[in-house]
């Protein structure tokens, strides 16, 4: 048994949120040296120079407590959040559930957040690392889209990029922003923001659901291509349950290994619908270099993971980067960017 397997067995005896808090506190104390880098993994996306394409997805470091510590584990970038304008506690506990047999997690956290001000203070202490901010809307907000505009303005001088999270299944009504008229309103506000404020040059990404079906997905892709959105993250958690073996039936968003197939298919569709004209970030079920590479070959310029880290431990990041560099060179590519979308017809 590896050390992490032993540690995981202890952590899994605890409530998931308590185990997560212990992990965050541990990372605050640890000062790891940055691991080996690989030239073949370096790329420029959204005008940012990424040392490698593997990032930590939003949800792990919700309040920007350990963003740089995570990058020192080997991540090429870190995404904090989801952060809401005002602090809020999120949904009632328990709200995180492990599906061990599936190597999956169901969460219905509901954007528990310390709020914009606290996160901004912590971000101000970060040096040169690439750290994005994933922003959301307060549950009691009267206008979700205005919360996003406020977030873009608030973090535009501190974050490396901003992700607009309109796809969490745990805030009632939020996913309606992905659909037709509501999407138009949001994107129009973002377009107008760029016209009105010439100082806002930060890359803006949209995080979408794996559950969006053809008409709405195609419409979203068409609208994004004519907007000021700089990239798409595919995907958030799913409300589907047809891919799991566990009998643990809980409401919330499913992440981890069972999400890999559907999220990769959604990624592939989006790459086709956008003709490869906009950078994509592939998320969902990544727990190996092979799966990260499959995301890239299906259209991802970058990838993110979270649940895979819970089940496999911190060495997963170094292993993915090492093995990914081998896979790329084995296929005859000089750089990871050459492999983007090669399996999409």
Both tokens assigned to 225? 């291509």
Look at residue 203 and tell me if it is in a domain: yes
Using one digit for the tens of pLDDT, what is the confidence trace for 118-140?
A: 999 999 877 778 999 999 999 88
Output the domain CATH number for residue 197: 3.20.20.70
* pLDDT above 70 for 198: no
d(CA 66, CA 68): 6
Nearest alpha-carbon partner for 302 in 118, 110, 78: 78
Percent of the chain beyond pLDDT 90?
Answer: 66
Provide the pLDDT confidence category of residue 246 given band limits of 50, 70 and 90.
Answer: confident
Residue 305: count of CB within 10 angstroms of its CB: 29
Using one digit for the tens of pLDDT, what is the confidence trace for 293-329?
A: 999 999 999 999 999 999 999 899 999 999 999 999 9
**What is the residue range of 48's domain?**
3-339
Give residue 178's pLDDT: 66
Give residue 201's pLDDT: 82
Across the chain, mean pLDDT equals: 90
Look at residue 294 and tell me if it is in a domain: yes
**How many domains does one find in the chain?**
1
Which of 185 and 311 is assigned the larger pLDDT? 311
Q: Of the given ranges (53-57, 85-89, 121-125), which has the lowest mean pLDDT? A: 121-125
Look at residue 276 and tell me if it is in a domain: yes
Active site residues: 168
d(CA 311, CA 232): 26
Give residue 109's pLDDT: 93
DSSP letter, residue 177: G
* pLDDT above 80 for 175: no
Cα distances from 186 to residues 33, 94, 147, 174, 200, in angstroms, run 41, 32, 10, 12, 17
Look at residue 60 and tell me if it is in a domain: yes
Measured in Å, how far apart are the chain's first and last C-alpha atoms? 43
DSSP per residue, 238-266: B---TT-------SSEEEEGGGHHHHHHH
Provide the pLDDT confidence category of residue 45 given band limits of 50, 70 and 90.
Answer: very high
Write out the H or E segment, with its range, that includes residue 248.
none
Both tokens assigned to 264? 């990769």
Look at residue 251 and tell me if it is in a domain: yes
Look at residue 107 and tell me if it is in a domain: yes
Using one digit for the tens of pLDDT, what is the confidence trace for 214-236?
A: 888 998 999 999 999 999 999 89
Look at residue 345 and tell me if it is in a domain: no
Q: Is the full-model pTM beyond 0.75?
A: yes
Look at residue 344 and tell me if it is in a domain: no
Provide the pLDDT confidence category of residue 258 given band limits of 50, 70 and 90.
Answer: very high
Provide the pLDDT confidence category of residue 182 given band limits of 50, 70 and 90.
Answer: confident
DSSP per residue, 194-229: HHH-TT----EEEEE-TT--HHHHHHHHHHHHTSS-
Provide the pLDDT confidence category of residue 179 given band limits of 50, 70 and 90.
Answer: low
Give residue 252's pLDDT: 87
């Amino acid at each position: 048994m590896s050390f992490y397997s032993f540690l995981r067995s202890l952590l899994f005896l605890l409530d998931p949120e308590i185990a997560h808090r212990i992990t965050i506190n541990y990372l605050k104390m640890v000062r790891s040296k940055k691991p080996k880098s690989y030239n073949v993994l370096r790329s420029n996306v959204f005008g940012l120079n990424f040392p490698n394409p593997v990032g930590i997805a939003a949800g792990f470091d919700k309040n920007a407590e350990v963003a740089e510590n995570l990058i020192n584990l080997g991540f090429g970038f870190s995404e904090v959040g989801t952060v809401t304008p005002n602090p809020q506690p999120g949904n009632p506990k328990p709200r995180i559930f492990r599906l061990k047999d599936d190597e999956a997690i169901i969460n219905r956290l509901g954007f528990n957040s310390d709020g914009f001000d606290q996160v901004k203070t912590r971000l101000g202490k970060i040096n040169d690392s690439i750290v994005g901010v994933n922003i959301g809307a307060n549950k009691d907000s009267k206008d979700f889209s205005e919360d996003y505009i406020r977030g873009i303005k608030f973090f535009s001088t501190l974050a490396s990029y901003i992700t607009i999270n309109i796809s969490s299944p745990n805030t009632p009504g939020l996913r309606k922003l992905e659909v037709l008229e509501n999407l138009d309103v949001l994107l129009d506000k973002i377009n107008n923001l760029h016209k009105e404020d010439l100082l806002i040059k930060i890359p803006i990404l949209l995080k979408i659901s794996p559950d969006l079906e053809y008409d709405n997905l195609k419409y979203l892709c068409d609208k994004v291509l004519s907007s000021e959105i700089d990239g798409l993250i595919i995907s958030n958690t799913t409300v589907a349950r047809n891919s799991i073996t566990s009998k643990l039936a809980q409401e919330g968003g499913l992440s981890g290994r069972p999400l890999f197939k559907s999220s990769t298919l959604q990624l592939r569709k989006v790459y086709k619908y956008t003709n490869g004209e906009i950078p994509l970030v592939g998320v969902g079920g990544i727990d190996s270099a092979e799966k990260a590479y499959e995301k890239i070959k299906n259209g991802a310029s970058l990838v993110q993971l979270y649940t895979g880290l819970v089940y496999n431990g911190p060495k997963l990041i170094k292993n993915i980067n090492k093995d990914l560099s081998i896979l790329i060179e084995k296929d005859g590519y000089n750089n990871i960017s050459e492999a983007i979308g090669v399996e999409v017809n």
